[in-house]
Amino acid sequence: MNNIERLQQLKNTNTLPPQELEILIDTYTQKDREYAAELARDVSFIHFGKSVYIRGIIEFSNYCRCNCLYCGLRKDNLNVHRYRLDVEEIMNCCKCGYALGFRTFVLQSGEDKWYTDQRMTDIVRTIHSTYPDCAITLSIGELSYSSYKKFFDAGANRFLLRHETATPSHYEKLHPMQQTLENRLQCLENLKEIGYQIGAGMMVGSPYQTTKHLVNDLIYMEKIKPQMIGIGPFLPHHETPFRDFKAGSIELTLLLLSVIRLMHPRVLLPATTALEIAKKCGRIDGIFAGANVIMPNISPQVVRRDYMLYDNKDLADVETVNSVKYLDEKLKKIGYHAVIDRGDYPIEEGSND
């Protein structure tokens, strides 16, 4: 089998044996990548037309009790100006976002215990009652089953928790001992059981990552079948132990976006900010590779520079590219358009999911 045949098989059967995935990742050429993107766009078109869903991210706290070795917000980085937004400030972001047309709010933070179950529930409930037509996505890390359940009952519908890597030995290289893959995967199971639409995913080119690790990630996601998958290139942050590692490959990220689209035809697949930082208009390339979601930042301007997971040399630029109008213009140039809609995971007629 050659790579073209591998990609065709992926499109036709939504799967490929692990050893074939490994060969594809190790030997793809630019031509293969373009072919993969073409097939992925076809599949996207069937389910979503030329629509790109826009979600507003509110980064409401950059305090984090975790120490992920790759992340600029890790607890041991003492050179971060830490901030928290209160309910009122968060509601203000929603108000601006709503006026801009956003119908999904993504609440993202480090793991910050200041937001007790009570406080978090209040925030979710307030957003839900003020904007009952909007979806609420949480991206707030590993918590207990009962906390997740409370937020769900208060009106949260979706939860993003990237698995980061499905290989335990690799997970240990990216995280301190206290953070385990076992707990992370259990959290994803719990979220799913409660009824959230879940988002998993990994960085591409994270330190010590091998092709086998990536294949394990793809196999894991085949099993858990997330409704959303977030992937982006690893980008070093100068205040982390991984400062001297090189950034993940943009081309490989784009290939994997296409592969993921072929494996999960209806998945909500963001073209991530990391891709945009790695390459000007990287998100547009992502859409062209089969992604169908863009998540602009709608946090207050004053806190944006404090939410740095990775080094970002061109912040001003990224703020412009976050504007909905700018995005829509860029999308129109490639024949797509931004949609202001909740953009739920499409349910196939006759299916149980």
Q: Which residues bind ligand 5AD (CB under 6 A)?
A: 70-71, 162, 164, 203, 232, 234-235, 237, 274, 309-310
Binding to ligand SF4 in span 89-108, by CB under 6 A? none
Q: Does 191 bind ligand SF4 (CB under 6 A)?
A: no
CB of 53 closer than 8 Å to CB of 340 = no
Q: Does 111 bind ligand SF4 (CB under 6 A)?
A: yes
C-alpha angle 65-69-74 in degrees, rounded to nearest 5: 30
Residue from 10, 52, 68, 331 touching ligand SF4 (CB under 6 A): that is 68
Element of type H or E holding 198? strand 197-200
The entry of ligand SF4, ligand 5AD, none near residue 66 (CB within 5 to 8 angstroms by kind) is: ligand SF4
Q: Is the dihedral of CA 44, 339, 203, 111 positive or negative?
A: negative
- Residue-wise DSSP of 249-313: PHHHHHHHHHHHHHHSTT-B-B--HHHHHHSTTHHHHHHHTT--EE--B-S-HHHHTT--SS--T
Chain CA centroid to CA 31, Å: 26
The entry of ligand SF4, ligand 5AD, none near residue 203 (CB within 5 to 8 angstroms by kind) is: ligand 5AD
Element of type H or E holding 119? helix 117-130
CB of 162 to ligand SF4, least distance (A): 8
Distance CA(19)–CA(34), nearest Å, equals 22
CB of 110 closer than 8 Å to CB of 66 = yes
CB of 306 to ligand 5AD, least distance (A): 15
Give the CA count within 13 Å in the CB-facing half-sphere of 99. 6
Contacting range for ligand SF4; rule: CB under 6 A; set: 19-27, 62-70, 251-259, 313-321:
62-70
CB of 28 to ligand 5AD, least distance (A): 22
CB of 78 to ligand SF4, least distance (A): 14
Residue from 97, 110, 199, 230 touching ligand SF4 (CB under 6 A): that is 110
Q: Which of 172, 265, 252, 269 is nearest to 214 (CA)?
A: 252
Distance CA(20)–CA(7), nearest Å, equals 10
Closer of 184 and 261 to ligand 5AD (Cβ)? 184
Site string for ligand SF4, 128-157 (x = CB under 6 A): -------------x----------------
Contacting range for ligand SF4; rule: CB under 6 A; set: 35-43, 68-76, 146-154, 271-279:
68-76
Contacting range for ligand SF4; rule: CB under 6 A; set: 50-58, 65-73, 244-252, 280-288:
65-73
The entry of ligand SF4, ligand 5AD, none near residue 274 (CB within 5 to 8 angstroms by kind) is: ligand 5AD
Q: Does 73 bind ligand SF4 (CB under 6 A)?
A: yes
Q: Does 64 bind ligand SF4 (CB under 6 A)?
A: yes
Distance CA(7)–CA(29), nearest Å, equals 12
CB of 341 closer than 8 Å to CB of 53 = yes
Q: Residue count at the site for ligand SF4 (CB under 6 A)?
A: 10
Helix pair angle (18-27, 3-13), 10° resolution: 130
CB of 204 to ligand 5AD, least distance (A): 9
Closer of 51 and 137 to ligand SF4 (Cβ)? 137
The entry of ligand SF4, ligand 5AD, none near residue 64 (CB within 5 to 8 angstroms by kind) is: ligand SF4
Distance CA(99)–CA(340), nearest Å, equals 11
Distance CA(249)–CA(275), nearest Å, equals 10
Interface residue list for ligand SF4 (CB under 6 A) = 64, 66, 68, 71, 73-74, 110-111, 141, 309
